[in-house]
Every structure is written in structure tokens, then in C-alpha cells.
Structure 1
């Protein structure tokens, strides 16, 4: 019973917060200029970064798998 009353309080608070945010944004929507941010990098840099992260994760996975195989061989 306590959980239901807690959930109702949270739901009411969230609804009031959303109404307040919505009315604040509807009054005067902010304009954001992101051209300086988006023009500072190219798609090649993004692809390189994504590939670097994926290679790092793959290396960690291969190392963990190799350790598991070696431990399995040692145990018999």
C-alpha cells in the first residue's frame, strides 16, 4: 500500500513538472545555433573514433575469451 501511494506522489510530481516545462517552452521556444559545433569535425573523424572504440572493445573481448580457454585447458 505504501508503494502505491508513493507511486501516485511521484506520478503527480512528474506530471506537474512536465506541464511546467511544456508551458515554459511553448511561450518562447529557444533557438540554438549549432553550426560552430557541427562544422568543427568531419564524418571521417567520427568514423575513425567509432572504429577505434570498436577495435578496443573487440580486443578486450578476445583477451577475455582467450583467458577463459586457457583456464579451461588448465583445469582439464
Structure 2
């Protein structure tokens, strides 16, 4: 079975464009925090942090950092999976 590829172009207005940039910034900050968490945990305790441990911390993370509540959990999990 052959898969077809489709490419879509977005032409967002200024408000949507700003929202997309803001969400991208939040994903960047989450990625950098996850990398930093893994590095400091290994340096201090000699224990590596797995994806599943970080994924299980997402609900608590979203309670503390309220701005992440607007992004759905699957998108945040995909960001953590890239670490």
C-alpha cells in the first residue's frame, strides 16, 4: 500500500501567527527544561531520567505552569519524546 504525502500551507493572520509563535516558544522551553532535568539528574545522582518519568510529571507540571494548559497533552508528550 502506497502512502500519499500532502503538504498544506498556512496563511495565518497576525493574531494566529502570534499564538503559533507563543506555542512554539512554550515547546522550546519544555524541551530545554527536559534536557536540563536529565543532565542535572545524571550529574548529581548518577541516575538517568526516562521519557516515561518525565511524561508522568506532565500533569503536575501543567498545574504549576498554567500557560501550558492551553496546549494539549499529546503535543507536550511528543515534545518530551524528542528529548
Q: Which has the higher helix share?
A: 1
TM over 0.5: no
- Who wins on radius of gyration, i.e. which is larger? 1
What is the TM-score with the length of structure 2 in the denominator? 0.40
Higher relative contact order (CA 8 A, sep 6+): 2
What is the TM-score with the length of structure 1 in the denominator? 0.43
